[in-house]
């Protein structure tokens, strides 16, 4: 007892021989340290559906994205245009761009289903995008002819939200868009009694997009007249194309100076096997992927976050 108090250690009750045997077989382990979780250890898993706001934010925090706002009245062909951009690569109709995958394959498939002959529908149908749809962002990873890879985000917004009453709320999300595709409904343009009203509706939408700052001097605007196949089938197709040319000249003279660039296409999404259609689709996509000179050569101070979508960029 006195010995324990003097040394501060308990007395060894094992024999000297047994202690030496045990010590030879003992393996010592350093105390475990808590693992340090690195940023690259986190893996974002996506559902395969169209992305919602939170998922788009997660993607933009890790990757550069190029967002495209596709604007037009309901049933004008916005969703069909988006789906056929994916179908271009699904069918291997692409010539310049290379397909690097998609995080929203199921989102595309759901929208594509009724366009296929196997759907059993008498004619191709695409369901209208609901006004309350939250999963509105479809993703394509693409590589251009220079080998630069980009994530293209195609925004599928309900056409009902592009009326004057809702335009202000849209500006909170899509202020100062770099890429905007405006849809002109070819079916209504082909109808003699509807074409004037359709042009008026389209022009009013363009004015409101400019007024609310969604389209700015830095926006690349592409006007796409859809449903070309219905125009060609019409009895007065020549008159329709003359009306389109007159409309295009009017838009150029009044709005070209207000944007970075303005281009016009007439396409039929359902004739993707046509070489001219394929070229038009790929040209539209390539234009969205182009980097403006000012982005490369002119340094700029990052603006203060004033709107929701300013946070969609890669974090340093």
Most confidently predicted of 9-23, 122-136, 213-227: 213-227
* pLDDT higher than threshold 90 for residue 305: no
Distance set, CA 230 to CA 24, 186, 274 (Å): 90, 7, 15
Q: Does residue 31 fall inside a structural domain?
A: no
CB-neighbour burial class of residue 9 (10 A; exposed 0-12, middle 13-18, buried 19+): exposed
Pairing of strands 98-101, 137-143: antiparallel
pLDDT at position 118 is 42
Q: Does residue 117 fall inside a structural domain?
A: yes
Give 236-280 pLDDT, tens digit per residue. 999 999 999 999 999 999 999 999 999 999 999 878 889 999 999
User: Which distant-in-sequence residues (6+ apart) come within 8 Å of 143 by Cβ?
Assistant: 97, 98, 100, 149, 150
DSSP line for 281-293: HHHHHHHHHPPPH
Mean pLDDT of the chain: 81
pLDDT at position 7 is 53
Q: Which of 113-117, 164-168, 172-176 has the lowest mean pLDDT?
A: 113-117
Q: What is the pLDDT confidence band of residue 293, given thresholds at 50, 70 and 90?
A: very low
Q: Does residue 1 fall inside a structural domain?
A: no
pLDDT at position 162 is 86
DSSP line for 79-92: HHHHHHHHHHHHTT
Whole-number Å distance between alpha carbons of 252 and 31: 73
Q: Does residue 273 fall inside a structural domain?
A: yes
Q: Is there a contact between 241 and 199 (Cβ–Cβ < 8 Å)?
A: no
Q: Where are the beta strands (DSSP E) in 76-214?
A: 98-101, 137-143, 149-156, 179-184
* pLDDT higher than threshold 50 for residue 300: no
* pLDDT higher than threshold 80 for residue 10: no
pLDDT at position 128 is 61
Q: Does residue 218 fall inside a structural domain?
A: yes
Six token digits for residue 23 = 């010590």
Q: Does residue 255 fall inside a structural domain?
A: yes
pLDDT at position 41 is 55
* pLDDT higher than threshold 60 for residue 306: no
Whole-number Å distance between alpha carbons of 91 and 275: 13
pTM: 0.76
* pLDDT higher than threshold 90 for residue 199: yes
Q: Does residue 166 fall inside a structural domain?
A: yes
Mean pLDDT of 43-65: 87
| Count of domains forming the chain | 1
Q: Give me the CATH number covering residue 142.
A: 3.40.50.300
Q: Which of 37-51, 95-109, 125-139 has the lowest mean pLDDT?
A: 37-51
User: What residues pair up with 156 in beta bridges, in sequence order?
Assistant: 70
Q: Which of 277, 47, 75, 275 is CA-nearest to residue 162?
A: 75
Distance set, CA 37 to CA 43, 123, 233 (Å): 12, 53, 62
pLDDT at position 38 is 56
Q: What angle do CA 101, 107, 110 make, to 5 degrees?
A: 125
Q: Which of 77, 74, 47 is CA-nearest to residue 59?
A: 47
Q: What is the pLDDT confidence band of residue 145, given thresholds at 50, 70 and 90?
A: confident
Q: Does residue 299 fall inside a structural domain?
A: no
pLDDT at position 275 is 92
Segments forming the whole domain that contains residue 154? 63-292
- pLDDT top residue among 66 and 116: 66
Mean pLDDT of 215-221: 97
């Amino acid at each position: 007892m006195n010995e324990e108090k003097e040394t501060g250690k308990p007395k060894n009750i094992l024999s000297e021989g047994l202690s030496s045997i045990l010590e030879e077989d003992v393996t010592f382990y350093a105390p475990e340290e808590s693992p340090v979780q690195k940023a690259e250890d986190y893996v974002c898993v996506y559902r395969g559906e169209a992305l919602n706001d939170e998922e788009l934010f997660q993607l933009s925090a890790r990757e550069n994205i190029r967002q495209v706002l596709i604007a037009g009245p309901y049933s004008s062909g916005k969703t069909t245009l988006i789906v056929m951009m994916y179908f271009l690569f699904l069918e291997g109709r692409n010539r310049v761009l290379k397909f690097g995958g998609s995080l929203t394959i199921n989102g595309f498939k759901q929208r594509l289903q009724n366009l296929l002959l196997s759907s059993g529908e008498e004619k191709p149908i695409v369901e209208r995008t609901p006004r309350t749809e939250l999963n509105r962002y479809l993703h394509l990873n693409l590589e251009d002819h220079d080998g630069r890879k980009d994530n293209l985000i195609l925004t599928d917004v309900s056409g009902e939200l592009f009326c004057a009453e809702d335009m202000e709320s849209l500006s909170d999300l899509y202020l100062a868009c770099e890429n905007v595709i405006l849809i002109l409904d070819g079916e209504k343009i082909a109808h003699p009694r509807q074409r004037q009203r359709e042009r008026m509706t389209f022009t009013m939408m363009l004015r409101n997009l400019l007024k609310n700052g969604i389209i700015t001097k830095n926006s690349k605007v592409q006007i796409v007249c859809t449903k070309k196949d219905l125009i060609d089938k019409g009895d007065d197709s020549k008159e329709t194309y003359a009306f389109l040319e007159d409309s295009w000249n009017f838009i150029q003279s009044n709005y070209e100076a207000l944007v970075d660039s303005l281009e016009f296409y007439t396409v039929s999404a359902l004739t993707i096997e046509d070489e001219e259609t394929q070229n038009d689709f790929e040209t539209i996509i390539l234009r969205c992927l182009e980097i403006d000179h000012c982005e490369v050569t002119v340094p700029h101070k990052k603006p203060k976050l004033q709107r929701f979508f300013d946070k969609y960029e890669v974090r340093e």
